[in-house]
Amino acid sequence: MYDIAILGGDIRQIYMAEQFRRQNLSIITYGLTHPMIQDVCAKGASMKETIQSSHILVSAIPFSKDGITIPALTSSSDMTISNFNASIRSEQVLFAGMISDKVRSYCHQCKVSFFDFMEDDSIAIANGIATAEGAIMEAINQSPTNLHKSHCLVLGFGRCAKTLAVKLKALDTIVTVAARKDSDRAMAEAFGFHAIPLNKLCDMLPHFTYIFNTIPALILDANLLSRVSKDAIIIDLASAPGGLDYKAAKAYGLHANLCLGIPGKVSPKASAQILTDKVMEHVMKRKKG
């Protein structure tokens, strides 16, 4: 009955609904309420009805934070993974982020295709830009000092870390990258950054005013945090529970911030357009087929 069904999510899914409508697609939503889509999108009476009214399903990033419920702006008792599993039918396709292995397995059983936004390189790179900008914004908001000429540490050198380091350098900061792999450190030095192994952090930590972590593992333990300056600002971009010992950070009186879902918070419209474009690729292929 509808071209696309949108199940839960955040403000990004609101913008996606509005962007789909501009493509003359019919949209039904569930778990989303916003003036932007109030008069242009149908509203499902239940999650089951919404799921079964479209071939294409678009949902949240992450698809579930607790493995039980699907995040939504308007909570409903039936917004659960179990209800989702019970409602899907063969030949549908799900677009969401960080889809769990259990959901993937059930989709396979039901012959439902799925596309994980967070596993697409083009999306990850674009999100890395928003994440880097948001991380710098958080650092500026948290600190009474300028970034200019400050000593910044970036932990890791993946896609997000590379973008972040480049943008920090463009703001005339002194950037050091700490990475485990020799190749990553060599690449960081080729970019013009200082580079150190992770096992050499202890001696260097007291010198940094800003610390940005992108590694999804416990890197800054209690021992390393004891070496961090009390004036330093720590911005943790790693997936929950983050890359540092927050209990120890609090005990040491450090300014540590776990900043998750930055693209959806600081640039939801631009982030939504990236996701919309990816779904539209599938829509156009389906129409041609």
Q: What's the CATH number where 101 sits? A: 3.40.50.720
Q: Where are the beta strands (DSSP E) in 63-163?
A: 93-96, 113-116, 151-155
Helix axes of 268-288 and 121-142: crossing angle, nearest 10 degrees: 170
Asked if the structure places residue 100 within a domain, the reply is yes
| The pLDDT of residue 289 | 62
Lookup result for tokens 């972040």: 164
252 with 127, same domain? yes
Q: What does each of the 289 residues of the chain score in pLDDT, given as a tens digit? A: 999 999 999 999 999 999 999 999 999 999 999 999 988 899 999 999 999 999 999 999 999 989 999 999 998 899 999 999 999 999 999 999 999 999 999 999 999 999 999 899 888 888 889 999 999 999 999 999 999 999 999 999 998 999 999 999 999 999 999 999 999 999 999 999 999 999 999 999 999 999 999 999 999 999 999 999 999 999 999 987 889 999 999 999 999 999 988 888 888 999 999 999 999 998 888 777 6
| Same structural domain, 246 and 145 | yes
Please tell me whether residues 141 and 254 are part of one structural domain.
yes
For residue 287, what pLDDT is reported? 72
Instruction: State residue 221's pLDDT score.
Output: 96
The interaxial angle of helices 11-22 and 268-288, nearest 10 deg, is 50
128, two tokens: 């890395």
Task: Supply the range of the domain harboring residue 203.
Answer: 123-258
* Same domain as 72, residue 156: no
What is d(CA 80, CA 247) in angstroms, rounded to the nearest whole number? 31
Q: Does 173 lie in the same domain as 187?
A: yes
Q: Is 220 part of a structural domain of the chain?
A: yes
3-state SS assignment for residue 115: strand
Residue 284: the pLDDT is 86
Greatest Cα pair distance, the chain, in angstroms, is 63
Q: Are residues 131 and 230 in the same domain?
A: yes
Do 108 and 160 lie in one domain? The reply is no
Structure tokens at 271: 């982030």
Statement to judge: residues 105 and 141 lie in one domain: no
100 and 155 together in one domain? no
- Whether residues 108 and 150 fall in one domain: no
Q: Into how many domains does the chain fold?
A: 2
Please report the pLDDT score of residue 108 as a whole number: 96
Q: Is residue 198 assigned to a domain? A: yes
Q: Are 112 and 147 in a shared domain?
A: no
Residue 146 identity? N
pTM: 0.83
Phi, psi of 11 (to 5 degrees): -65, -25
Assess whether 31 and 52 both reside in one domain: yes
